Amino acid sequence: MFAAHRFEKIGSLMNRMLPLAIAKLCLVAFPPYTYAQTQTETQPTFSFNATRAMQWLPLSGDEADGIIFPVTVNGQATYADIDTGSTVSDVALFSSKLVPLADGAKDAKTISAKGYGGVSHYPIRRADSLVIGGLTLLNQQVAVTDQPLSRDDRVGVTIGINLLMGLTLQVDWENRRARFLLGGDLPKDSGTVTVAIETRTRFPVVDAEICGIQVKALLDTGTDSDVHLVPEQEKLWECAAPVRSDIRSIGAGGPIIKGLASLPTARIGGRPMGPTMASIDPEGGPLSRWGFSASVGTGLLRRSNFVLDAGSSALAFYGPDRTARVTDRTRIGIQYRPDGNGLLITHIMKASPASQTILKPGDRICTLNGRTIEALAGKYGDISPPVGKTARIGVCAGPTVSIVASDYLAFPGTPDIAFPAGTPAVPEPAGVGRVTEAFSRCISLSGEEMAEACSIVLNAPRVANFWKETARKRQATAFPNAATPGIP
């Protein structure tokens, strides 16, 4: 989201806040297809395998780091994540490890993205191929950066909302998997949240309720925060708990400090999401500039499985309430980053247990609970132990400071649930994947079976005309004597 990168941990809270500059893969201009297009080698082309698209991709890494799944770039296996809050509108963002910066001509174009703290510039290069499930994109222009794209250093590609305009993204957190289906068939009912594409910014927007106030919120999977709020609208956090804190993140122009407040609940559409942590942006941040009051991130989206059918302007949650399992507030209040064989403290969060000690930004941690940082090999979860437990922080060439963990940011008297105990899981929306499965049969079968499958595609309410035309042509081969083959 908004072209900012932050790679500091907050205790065990894996708070990525990665406003990433990414981009569309031009599915409006180049919709996916079952057969490869027959264009010249230098033009962007594509192919779509509906059978493969029905298959699930495994979600990888820590789910707090985002929606991360395997892809292939130029024949090389790597990982991608989804950022629907991208500020770069025309191309996907690739790591220079996959598409070298030196490959471009001296007069190659660049794309600029203004985010927290400054402007980032990305040179434009060309990727030979990108394979995402059943979708293959060839000869695509992409933006390239030599900066990390994620806390998960395996991520080599970031994908924005415009790719999803032609597809349906289904994320099954419970079974750690996701898939990309044909869009346009998610049924609308009382549980469906409307997703509108804002005309000016091209960002996805949902109706949300924060502190009892209805707002249009940016849907931003590029941050693992629950919600971001603009500082100009204080009413949006009037209902917050008395204890307020802050958080440090890294923007394009350097570090920035944001407020942090605990809200009793929030809603996306009509769905309650349970207690919510609100990050309050600094003055003049990207949300304010774009005219939004709030954004909602994967901190809330992780609380339930979901289906996002941007082409049908629909978002549906299903499955059990995961709020208690995924809520992970910082309990010590130390932000840090790796620094050689130690951890450098970058920020002590206001009102936290750590703020009551002698620890300060710039201190280096050499031991944690008596073990050296080097021996821990990247596993630093003990820096934010369960409530009531003690973390012993050993300062390099200094004292060892003992801190008792406290859930100081919890909203008083409010359990970490979105629904009352015993509420049954919401069933998966009927018909998810139906059009993709039918399209696969439409182009692979013959006779009446093929015609019946093609009819499902033709009758899907918001499937793109490109797909319907393909189905219509296929159906015509089943009824060659029909005057006007099409929707029966």
Task: Tell me the pLDDT tens digit for each residue of 155-175.
Answer: 999 998 887 877 899 999 999
What is the rounded (10 degree) CA torsion for 377, 323, 311, 441?
Answer: 80
Would you state the pLDDT for residue 167? Answer: 85
**Is the CB of residue 223 less than 8 Å from the CB of residue 16?**
yes
DSSP, collapsed to helix, strand or coil, labels residue 75 as coil
Average pLDDT over residues 308-334: 92
Q: What is the pTM of this model?
A: 0.86
For residues 280 and 258, the answer to whether their CB atoms sit within 8 Å is: yes
**pLDDT by residue (tens digit) across 424-448?**
999 998 888 889 999 999 988 988 8
What stretch of H or E contains 155? strand 155-159
pLDDT band for position 89 (cuts 50, 70, 90): low
What pLDDT shows up at residue 40? 47
Q: What are the C-alpha distances in Å from 312 to residues 27, 195, 247, 442, 466?
A: 15, 8, 36, 22, 15
Are 352 and 23 contacting, i.e. CB atoms less than 8 angstroms apart?
A: no
Q: How many CB atoms lie within 10 A of CB 480?
A: 7
As a 3-state breakdown, the chain gives helix, strand, coil percent values, each rounded to 5, of 20, 35, 45
265 with 208: CB under 8 angstroms?
A: no
Query: Could you tell me what percent of the chain has a pLDDT over 90?
Result: 53
Measured in whole angstroms, the distance separating CA 276 from the mean position of its chain's CA atoms is 17
Alpha helices in 15-135, H assignment, sequence order:
50-53
Residue type, 424: P
Crossing angle for the helix pair 465-478 and 434-444, to the nearest 10 degrees: 40
Interatomic CA distance for residues 97 and 193, integer angstroms: 38
Q: Residue 38 contacts by C-beta under 8 Å, 6 or more apart in sequence?
A: none
